[in-house]
Structure 1
């Protein structure tokens, strides 16, 4: 694996740079730029949290921290703004989303720079984030009217009962977003909430507050009212709990363990929630797969964003007939990856987000090796490249007694297994408690879709790692079993933020005895009508 040194990019950075002598030279974001972003956080506690870049350990910002009082006031401001926003025609809300689409594309270099500084990910993986937000903004900008428009339903008496269903916004939506996709996850769930007439209060992860704050700035520049989108900051057990305590609906992306806590808090308040949680995602390489294409896809599936994404592959099942060829190509492609802590294009993988994440990955690999796993590629930390680097790692002979067998690593580690019987491979892919994402590689698309239908995951990609579903915004995305509940994207992704309200208008006759009918005669007439409606084929 080759490496490259950090290089500053764009107008956001300042400071000395001498990669030849100091590959982890210290850089800083422009103070005025940081100040403009952090001013968008509702925080009066006087406390701050220092954020350092995973690229080189340099300090990026001291982020103001919110108090529970700040959270309450943020919700109060959001509620006032939401009352007016709900009366804004859907077409005007949609127009703001389309303006955001253009802004994000115009400002993509700035967005990507900031994402890389905060998360450390390779630039090509950071680029996925403004791309996904542009896709999301355009989709809901074009389809909000279709999803939210009043719908006609069948009335009990044909021609005389008119029934309509309205979509009423929930109110103020709380969002708790993760660090691994700091711009995408801060915005993608909130955009349909805004389109549906809601306000949003978001608590991003402490490690990536600046990317989320930039998202808030872009929303205001696109024409959304300033108080409609509130940002708060602080520890999850304090500020996250306060967000749950005030929200009318809660959207959470993160670990399954934390998701359970969030779900209990929402249940206590009888509010709805959607949760995208952990995964131990499988990739199946069938005996007729294009080996080269499968190996290329497996690299992206396993090592994009250093494996720090919920839909990342951590288990690969390969048919006997192609196992040796696939392993040879997968290992070769992995060993050819370019690692680097840099803002420039060209790297295949950056560092992990933090020391805690590095410790988890190291512990999983060391445990597996100590118990007999074989390292086919990678297998060790690379402090020479940056504080939190771990090589992209392929393990063979992983067994159930190893931690990485069934527990999510959330890092650049994947285990590879041989299979002979396709039914057995599907059964093994379905083992465990998770069910978020899967991939199937085969030259026969219809066969791939048939296999996909048997895998208990919320999304399955055929001949692709994860991007086919993730980028197809019209399709719902989420997990089964302990990988979550609810869906983002598509109709489900916007309707979750609304309450269906049925309005029925009755003409001429009432739903009760009339014209001198007795209750008994009314019962007979209604019974005869029910039998007639069945004969006529009415639902």
Structure 2
């Protein structure tokens, strides 16, 4: 095993030392390309989680007392440090997740974009808003945004750096602390990012890292949180949402997808093919928003299929710490086995493999070829279930109405893509699809990278959203500060209520007529 030069024993010791752990237990973290153990990652106990929350609450009291400008200044320094060390973080991500270097670097850019957006937008989003009060001229009502406290943030292994740091950024700028649980398989790169926050001047203890399997510490994280941000499977999301509801705290759940792409008859295949390849196989298909279902009209199916399969076969797959491979490894052997089980089930029930469909042990233990299937029937596992790998299927449709109905025939509703030269017509089709993110002539990046707009899911793809104003406001409580300059709301004991009612009705009618309230 030869790790990148930046991943030294000293760095590894520093990063593992950031985990709150007294349990004595550990997780064998491996280099995905070879399957060889890199280190023993400390595991946190429920008691460690409670200790982490106590530390974060103490630091959060200090952080929340800082003026917003001072908190933003920290994030400006963090942004610059991230630009400085982005490739080191990419090294760590490749070691832990096996993703291609191109994707690892782009993931750091997501955090840069989110940080930059909220540095600019936070003063407007968090600004106090003064309104007229219950009685014109003599009363006011002011909305004040107050941080919720400490956020429980649980992030997945597929985009660990982005879902940890990008989701933490608006919470931190708004004045919160964070207890962060990355996936065991992808903790080191996240810890490096948290270290940069401290280097930028964030108070010690404000972001606490805990590690462990969900059944071991997940409940304790939710139990102690003031708000929960979770990205992961729909099944786990249901459990977290139920516990958050019992505790009367809010949560955002970004869950799974079985995302469709529709190719309209007027689409330019010179653009569709590379765009769809990217949407289907980015991050080795391990993306909640990646495309698993492609719908092409009967007239264009043959041409599209031939060109798409050729493009899939041209994808460069390899285990290298440089920018040459297009696609890297799956995150683990169990994930590869999951993909294999979906494809094998489909083939056994009559599906046709147009390309791929095999593991690549010559490259590493978790590699799997880019795979394109057709002849999919509803009884196959991958017809309805999220596969979450480098596998996509091609279907045909006769009419646009049929294509929309097929796209909507799923319990999920995270992302959808429509391609066509007539932008107005393509957008009209996209608006009919039941999904939180609609991309016209793009697979997924156009919507997700638009940080000014919110991003979330319909149906079982999630609750709540990230990005945009809502992505920061969700981490705050609103306080209504009402001021009465002169006491006019109380009635004297001898009030004539017949006259009072008459005067009140006249007053309310007058104010409505002249738009006073």
**Deviation (angstroms), 1:518:** 2.1
CA 1:154–1:423 in structure 2 vs 1: closer, same or farther (change >3 Å)? farther
CA RMSD of aligned residues (A): 1.5
| Structure 1 equivalent of residue 242 of structure 2 | 264
**Deviation (angstroms), 1:530:** 1.8
Counterpart CA distance in 2 for 1:208 and 1:505 is 50
Quick check: 1:40–1:216 contact (8 Å CA) kept in 2?
no
| Structure 2 equivalent of residue 522 of structure 1 | 500
Q: Does 1:391 align with 2:369?
A: yes
Quick check: 2:416–2:437 contact (8 Å CA) kept in 1?
yes
Pick aligned residue for 2:342 from 333, 344, 364: 364
| Structure 2 equivalent of residue 290 of structure 1 | 268
Counterpart CA distance in 1 for 2:371 and 2:300 is 21
SS of the aligned residue for 1:338 comes to: coil
User: Normalized against structure 1, the TM-score is what?
Assistant: 0.94
Counterpart CA distance in 2 for 1:515 and 1:342 is 84
Q: Does 1:494 align with 2:458?
A: no
| Structure 2 equivalent of residue 106 of structure 1 | 84
Quick check: 2:155–2:163 contact (8 Å CA) kept in 1?
yes
**Deviation (angstroms), 1:505:** 1.3
| Structure 2 equivalent of residue 159 of structure 1 | 137
| Structure 1 equivalent of residue 168 of structure 2 | 190
Counterpart CA distance in 2 for 1:437 and 1:375 is 25
SS of the aligned residue for 1:337 comes to: coil
Counterpart CA distance in 2 for 1:526 and 1:328 is 75
Quick check: 1:165–1:502 contact (8 Å CA) kept in 2?
yes
Quick check: 1:309–1:410 contact (8 Å CA) kept in 2?
yes
Q: Does 1:42 align with 2:23?
A: no
Quick check: 1:287–1:320 contact (8 Å CA) kept in 2?
no
**Deviation (angstroms), 1:535:** 1.9
| Structure 2 equivalent of residue 250 of structure 1 | 228
Tell me which moved more, 130-139 or 156-165: 156-165
| Structure 1 equivalent of residue 424 of structure 2 | 446
| Structure 1 equivalent of residue 310 of structure 2 | 332
Counterpart CA distance in 1 for 2:293 and 2:169 is 33
CA 1:178–1:170 in structure 2 vs 1: closer, same or farther (change >3 Å)? same
Pick aligned residue for 1:474 from 443, 452, 468: 452
SS of the aligned residue for 1:83 comes to: helix
| Structure 2 equivalent of residue 322 of structure 1 | 300
**Deviation (angstroms), 1:515:** 11
| Structure 1 equivalent of residue 59 of structure 2 | 81
SS of the aligned residue for 1:213 comes to: helix
Q: Does 1:217 align with 2:226?
A: no
SS of the aligned residue for 1:126 comes to: helix
Q: Does 1:66 align with 2:47?
A: no
**Deviation (angstroms), 1:486:** 0.6
Q: Does 1:93 align with 2:93?
A: no
SS of the aligned residue for 2:198 comes to: helix
In the TM superposition, what whole-angstrom CA distance separates every residue of 1:76-104 from its partner, at most 9, and x where no partner exists? 01111111111111111111112111111
Tell me which moved more, 61-70 or 130-139: 61-70
| Structure 1 equivalent of residue 31 of structure 2 | 53
| Structure 2 equivalent of residue 276 of structure 1 | 254
**Deviation (angstroms), 1:435:** 0.4
Counterpart CA distance in 2 for 1:516 and 1:324 is 87
| Structure 2 equivalent of residue 22 of structure 1 | none
Quick check: 1:7–1:342 contact (8 Å CA) kept in 2?
no
Q: Does 1:307 align with 2:282?
A: no
Q: Structure 2: which 5+ residue stretches go unaligned?
A: none
**Deviation (angstroms), 1:7:** 7.9
SS of the aligned residue for 2:153 comes to: strand
Quick check: 1:7–1:344 contact (8 Å CA) kept in 2?
no
In the TM superposition, what whole-angstrom CA distance separates every residue of 1:34-75 from its partner, at most 9, and x where no partner exists? 001011111111111111111111222211111111111110
Q: Does 1:230 align with 2:208?
A: yes
Number of residue equivalences: 517
**Deviation (angstroms), 1:448:** 2.1
Counterpart CA distance in 2 for 1:154 and 1:375 is 65
User: Normalized against structure 2, the TM-score is what?
Assistant: 0.97
Pick aligned residue for 2:146 from 153, 158, 168: 168
| Structure 2 equivalent of residue 18 of structure 1 | none
SS of the aligned residue for 1:455 comes to: coil
Q: Does 1:146 align with 2:134?
A: no
Counterpart CA distance in 2 for 1:512 and 1:522 is 12
**Deviation (angstroms), 1:355:** 1.2
Counterpart CA distance in 2 for 1:439 and 1:422 is 14
**Deviation (angstroms), 1:330:** 0.9
In the TM superposition, what whole-angstrom CA distance separates every residue of 1:124-154 from its partner, at most 9, and x where no partner exists? 1111211000001111111111111101234
Counterpart CA distance in 1 for 2:303 and 2:3 is 40
**Deviation (angstroms), 1:538:** 4.9
